[in-house]
């Protein structure tokens, strides 16, 4: 038996490297992505052109370029990617987080960036078959498994599920229900088309059918949780179809299947429709609906992330009050080093290790590499400072304790909240 490695005030130098190594070497469960198992075919985006046309970069491109929106969208994807490369990487320094991310991903995937040749990069990506590519990225990002975002209304996705999906241990499903909750009137007919006896007025018979729909899909997908993104003005006491559906259909089905309901709160969709997917923005939300739900439904489990920086402190305080609430990730516009660091530090100060500090939200396979490289670096730094503070008190830290903490942060907390074994 080897001696346990113990760190004290005197040996603090070794601690830094130990934390870094443990954080890098601990495989992560990426709890919210827009990646898909290879069986979903074209839904799994990958390669340089997809990375360059990521909507985060499209928005940045229009900060500099005077191309009209119509012209840009009419271009084929490679032409869009060429324009973004030229504008954001060659004519300007690629120092925004989304640009830097492309470079980190390329670097860690083995490309030489000293004199980058876009055509050559394209050719090298084109050589990778999908299985090779998934393995390459999961190894480089040290991902154990990724959670997809699955839409039962998607015309490409739905037939794959219906044909009898063969589970892929690298990818888990989530039942995403934005259309149902955010526009019941506009989407009720889609349930009707699928054979559910629903109508616009949410009578108790109709609710039974919505529950049947949700339950069928949770089971078909073996969904780890149900999820929705919500606007900043989301409330539970407005008598809306959404509030009714959450209380009468989503929460009972979630409870019956022992799965959480995840709410991603604060997105204002389409503030600039000309930007398409890049046109969404954000707003500060009220914490009241979350407090109401956690308090009224103690047998339900809630996973929550807010999009506005202004909501982060209150959200962490709310998580102190309710053990059926698990905070996750630095979502979208918060996925920037300065904000990840601030949020992770603050969350750990208020909640210890009982959080999920990050998810990648990757839409393109290769992005997972940079999202995790950048976040791991920050999580290491914050932990280093927190453990150093402990050493100052005379407390000692073992490597096993660090490993335990990091495993919780990078997946353990998620799986124990779900009460599932990976």
Asked if 97 is part of the footprint of Zn ion (rule: CB under 5 A), the reply reads: no
The site map against ligand RAT for 173-212 (x = CB under 6 A) is: ----------------------------------------
> Which C-beta is closer to ligand RAT: that of 104 or that of 229?
229
Q: Which does 29 bind (CB under 5 to 8 A by kind): ligand RAT, Zn ion, none?
A: none
CA-based angle 375:379:382, to the nearest 5? 140
> Which C-beta is closer to ligand RAT: that of 34 or that of 404?
34
Asked if 151 is part of the footprint of Zn ion (rule: CB under 5 A), the reply reads: no
Asked if 49 is part of the footprint of ligand RAT (rule: CB under 6 A), the reply reads: no
Contact 390, 397 (CB under 8 A): yes
Contact 102, 117 (CB under 8 A): no
Q: What is the DSSP string of 103-144?
A: HHHHHHTT---SS--HHHHHHHHHT--HHHHHHHHHHHHTEE
Q: What is the DSSP string of 365-376?
A: TTHHHHHHHHHH
By the 10 Å C-beta count (0-12 exposed, 13-18 middle, 19+ buried), 299 is classed as exposed
Asked if 374 is part of the footprint of ligand RAT (rule: CB under 6 A), the reply reads: no
Contact 361, 335 (CB under 8 A): yes
> Which C-beta is closer to ligand RAT: that of 45 or that of 379?
45
The helix-helix angle for 55-64 and 97-108 (nearest 10°) equals: 130
Least distance in Å: CB of 58 to ligand RAT? 11
User: Using the rule CB under 6 A, which residue among 209, 341, 342, 361 binds ligand RAT?
Assistant: 361
Asked if 361 is part of the footprint of Zn ion (rule: CB under 5 A), the reply reads: yes
Cα distance between residue 381 and residue 396, in whole Å = 18
> Which C-beta is closer to ligand RAT: that of 57 or that of 406?
57
Asked if 360 is part of the footprint of ligand RAT (rule: CB under 6 A), the reply reads: no
> Which C-beta is closer to ligand RAT: that of 6 or that of 271?
271
Residues β-bridged to residue 230:
265
Cα distance between residue 100 and residue 345, in whole Å = 23
* The two structure tokens encoding residue 214: 């949700």
The site map against ligand RAT for 224-243 (x = CB under 6 A) is: -----x--------------
> Which C-beta is closer to ligand RAT: that of 362 or that of 397?
362
Provide the binding-site residues for ligand RAT, judged by CB under 6 A.
Answer: 34, 149, 229, 264, 332, 361, 363
Provide the binding-site residues for Zn ion, judged by CB under 5 A.
Answer: 361
């Amino acid at each position: 038996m080897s001696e346990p490695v113990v760190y004290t005030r005197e040996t603090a130098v070794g601690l830094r490297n130990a934390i870094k190594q443990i954080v890098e070497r601990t495989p992560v469960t990426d709890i919210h992505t827009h990646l898909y198992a290879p069986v979903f075919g074209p839904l799994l985006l990958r390669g340089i052109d997809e990375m360059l046309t990521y909507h985060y970069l499209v928005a940045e491109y229009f900060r500099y370029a005077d191309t009209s929106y119509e012209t840009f969208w009419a271009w084929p994807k490679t032409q869009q990617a060429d324009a973004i490369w030229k504008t954001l990487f060659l004519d300007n320094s690629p120092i925004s987080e989304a640009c830097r991310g492309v470079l980190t991903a390329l670097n860690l995937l083995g490309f030489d960036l000293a004199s980058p040749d876009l055509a050559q990069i394209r050719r090298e990506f084109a050589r990778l078959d999908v299985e090779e590519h998934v393995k390459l990225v999961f190894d480089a990002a040290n991902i154990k498994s990724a959670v997809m975002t699955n839409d039962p209304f998607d015309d490409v996705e739905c037939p794959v599920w219906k044909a009898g999906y063969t589970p892929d241990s690298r990818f888990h499903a989530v039942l995403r229900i934005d259309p149902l909750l955010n526009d019941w009137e506009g989407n009720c007919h889609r349930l009707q088309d699928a054979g559910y006896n629903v109508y616009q007025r949410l009578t108790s018979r109709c609710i039974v059918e919505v529950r049947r729909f949700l339950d069928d899909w949770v089971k078909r997908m073996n969904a780890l949780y149900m999820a929705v993104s919500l606007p900043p003005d989301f409330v539970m006491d407005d008598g809306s179809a959404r509030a009714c559906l959450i209380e009468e259909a989503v929460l009972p089905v979630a409870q019956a299947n022992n799965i959480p309901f995840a709410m991603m709160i604060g997105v204002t969709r389409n503030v600039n429709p000309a930007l398409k997917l890049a046109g969404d923005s954000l707003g500060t939300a009220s914490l009241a609906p979350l407090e109401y739900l956690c308090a009224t439904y103690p047998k339900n489990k809630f996973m929550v992330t807010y999009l506005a920086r202004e909501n982060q402190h209150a959200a962490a305080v709310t998580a102190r009050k309710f053990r059926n609430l698990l905070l996750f990730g630095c979502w979208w516009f918060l996925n920037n080093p300065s904000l990840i660091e601030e949020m992770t530090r603050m969350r750990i100060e208020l909640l210890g290790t009982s959080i999920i500090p990050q998810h990648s939200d990757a839409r393109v396979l290769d992005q997972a590499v940079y999202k995790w490289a950048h976040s791991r670096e920050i999580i290491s730094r914050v932990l280093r400072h927190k453990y150093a503070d402990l050493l100052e008190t005379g407390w000692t830290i073992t490597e096993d304790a660090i490993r335990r903490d990091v495993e919780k942060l990078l997946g353990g907390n998620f799986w124990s909240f779900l009460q599932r074994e990976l």
